[in-house]
Amino acid sequence: MTEPQGLTSTEEHLWETFRRGDLCDVRTGDPELDDPTAQHDWGPERTVRAEIIARLLLDGPPHEPGRVAALKLAGAAITGLLNLAGGRVVPYLELRNCRFDTEIRLPEAHFATIRLIRCAIPRFEAARLATAGDLHLVQSTIEAGIRLTDAHIGTDLLLNQMTVRRDRNGRAVSADGLTVGQDVEAELITADGEISLRSARIGGRLSLRGSELRNPGGRYALNAARVTVEHTLYLSSGWTSGYYGGGTPPMGVRTRRFVAEGGIRLDDGRFGNGIIADKARFLLSGAQQLSLRRIQTPELRLALEEPPSGRISLAGARVGNLTDAQSSWPSAGRIDLAGFTYETIAAHGSFPLHRRIAWLADATPEYNPEPYEHLAQALRGGGEDNDAREVLLARQRRRRETLPLAGTVWGYVQDITVGYGYRPGRAALWLAVLWAVGTTYFACGPAPLPVDEHAWPHWNPALFSLDLLLPFVDLGQSHAWRLAGTAQWGATVMTLVGWILATTVAAGASRLLRRG
- Which residues contact residue 284 at a Cβ distance below 8 angstroms, ignoring those fewer than 6 apart? 262, 263, 290, 308, 309, 310, 311
End-to-end CA distance of the chain: 82
Contact present, 12 and 70 (Cβ < 8 Å)? no
Report the distance separating Cα 446 and Cα 362, nearest Å: 58
Report the distance separating Cα 70 and Cα 23, nearest Å: 9
Mean per-residue pLDDT pooled into runs of 10, the chain (516 residues) = 73 89 90 88 90 92 86 94 94 95 96 96 97 96 96 96 94 96 95 96 96 93 97 89 54 80 96 94 92 96 91 94 92 89 90 88 86 87 82 86 84 75 70 80 76 70 78 71 77 78 65 56
Give the strand pairing for 335-336 and 318-324.
Answer: unpaired
Element (H, E) at 408: helix 405-418
DSSP label at 447?
A: P
Q: What is the b/e burial string over 468-487, where b = at least 16 CB atoms within 10 angstroms of the residue's CB?
A: bbbbeeeeebbebbebeeeb
- Which residues contact residue 63 at a Cβ distance below 8 angstroms, ignoring those fewer than 6 apart? 19, 20, 21, 69
DSSP label at 150?
A: T
* Predicted pLDDT at 425: 66
DSSP 341-355: EEEEEEESS---HHH
* Predicted pLDDT at 513: 59
Report the distance separating Cα 417 and Cα 497, nearest Å: 11
Q: Which amino acid is at 87?
A: G
Burial label, 14 (beta-carbon count in 10 A; 0-12, 13-18, 19+) = buried
Residue 479: HSE in the Cβ half-sphere, 13 Å Cα cutoff: 5
Per residue in 210-264, pLDDT tens? 999 999 988 999 999 999 999 999 999 887 655 444 555 666 567 889 999 999 9
Q: Which amino acid is at 3?
A: E
Report the distance separating Cα 354 and Cα 352, nearest Å: 6
Contact present, 122 and 101 (Cβ < 8 Å)? yes
In 3D, which of 300, 337, 342, 336 has the Cα closest to residue 318?
342
Instruction: For 405, list phi and psi in degrees, rounded to 5.
Output: -55, -45
Instruction: For 482, list phi and psi in degrees, rounded to 5.
Output: -95, 120
* Predicted pLDDT at 1: 56
In 3D, which of 120, 114, 100, 190 has the Cα closest to residue 148?
114
Report the distance separating Cα 253 and Cα 231, nearest Å: 26
* Predicted pLDDT at 243: 45
The alpha carbon dihedral of 449, 452, 454, 459 has a sign of negative
Per residue in 140-158, pLDDT tens? 999 999 999 999 999 999 9
